[in-house]
């Protein structure tokens, strides 16, 4: 028996039906349920609902019903507590999820039987070193860009205190291996194996051909400084949290103090996910192999 936490994207049209299946399964198996507060609009049973940051100590695993964005939200909420996350895809791409809505009950059966593995995923820690108290974590990426201004931004990048490069363009993506198949991939970054340790940088629309993606060691520390920008730059964490940066602002990015723990099932390989979700390695007109 596990204490099951649930986070749901209630904007998805099938969220109530899938949640109902989870509720029925949990009740039949005697698994206590705790959910995020926003679930109240679609749930059919009475059980505690709390903010996601309060899950620590109250659940053994977290079920994410939604798309990749829901998993990113879940990871930032519970990874520090070491709580594993299982993703059921209610969205479109669902790259980080491991089951479809029709596979919900079978996925829960596999959980109950212990037929799963927990993958530890590298996360980034982000902070402003000049006195700001805020700290953030990212499972996918950290982006520093020009926001809505249609002019170049100039960034200086230092690695462990040593100057790396000046980047003039639309900005810079710093991505984890998990996030290497997201925004960083669209600007020409490499695909990293999702469970490897380390991270990468990928310039966005760099103004010179000398700027290329780079891969860094897990314990490296990057400092990105906003040297010049027309107006304000924007710091974005996992595509969901933003903060404005003025000229002269500095952002420090390093390995987070904890990994994300994502549940996967034996037989579900990363290469198969690449082929089915991104059509990786397939020629024109070819289907999944």
Show the domains of the chain with their CATH numbers.
4-121+259-278 (3.40.50.10330), 124-255 (2.60.200.30)
pLDDT at 137: 95
Catalytically annotated residue among 17, 60, 68, 130: 68
Cα-trace Rg, the chain? 20
Mean pLDDT of 87-101: 93
Say if residue 288's pLDDT is above 70.
Answer: no
4: DSSP letter: E
Give the model confidence (pLDDT) of 139-194 as tens digits: 999 999 998 777 889 999 999 999 999 999 999 999 999 999 999 999 999 999 99
The b-or-e profile of 25-51 (16+ CB within 10 A means b, else e) is bbeeeebbbbbbeebeebbeeeeeeee
Is the pLDDT higher at 147 or at 234?
A: 234
Residues contacting residue 230 through CB under 8 Å, at least 6 positions apart:
146, 149, 151, 152, 153
pLDDT at 133: 56
Which of 10-14, 65-69, 223-227 shows the lowest mean pLDDT across its residues?
Answer: 10-14
Reported confidence tier of residue 62, pLDDT bands at 50, 70, 90: very high
248: DSSP letter: T
Tell me the average pLDDT of the chain.
Answer: 92
Reported confidence tier of residue 132, pLDDT bands at 50, 70, 90: low
Q: Is 68 a catalytic residue?
A: yes
- CB 81 within 8 Å of CB 53: no
């Amino acid at each position: 028996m596990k204490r099951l936490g649930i986070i749901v994207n209630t904007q998805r049209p099938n969220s109530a039906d899938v949640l109902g299946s989870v509720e029925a399964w949990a009740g039949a198996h005697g698994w206590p349920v705790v959910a995020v507060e926003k679930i109240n609009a679609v749930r059919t049973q009475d059980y505690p609902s709390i903010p996601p940051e309060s899950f620590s100590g109250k659940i053994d695993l977290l079920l994410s019903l939604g798309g990749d964005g829901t998993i990113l939200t879940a990871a930032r909420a519970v990874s520090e507590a070491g709580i594993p996350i299982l993703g059921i895809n209610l969205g479109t791409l669902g790259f980080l999820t491991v089951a479809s809505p029709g596979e919900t009950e079978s996925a829960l059966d596999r959980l109950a039987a212990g037929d799963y593995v927990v993958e530890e995923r590298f996360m980034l820690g982000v902070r402003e070193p000049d006195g700001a108290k805020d700290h953030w974590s990212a499972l996918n990426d950290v982006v520093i860009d020009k926001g809505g201004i249609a002019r170049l931004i100039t960034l200086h990048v230092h690695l462990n205190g040593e100057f790396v490069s000046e980047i003039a363009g639309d900005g810079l993506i710093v991505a984890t291996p998990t996030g290497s198949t997201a925004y960083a991939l669209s600007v020409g970054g490499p695909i990293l194996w999702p469970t490897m340790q380390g991270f990468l940088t990928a310039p966005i629309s760099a103004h010179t051909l000398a700027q290329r993606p780079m891969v860094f060691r897990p314990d490296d520390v990057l400092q990105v400084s906003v040297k010049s920008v027309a107006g304000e730059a924007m710091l974005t964490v996992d595509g969901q949290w933003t903060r404005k940066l003025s000229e002269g602002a500095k952002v420090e990015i390093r390995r987070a103090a904890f990994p994300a723990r994502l549940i996967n099932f034996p037989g579900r390989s990363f290469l198969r996910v690449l082929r089915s979700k991104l059509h990786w390695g397939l020629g024109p007109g070819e289907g999944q192999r």
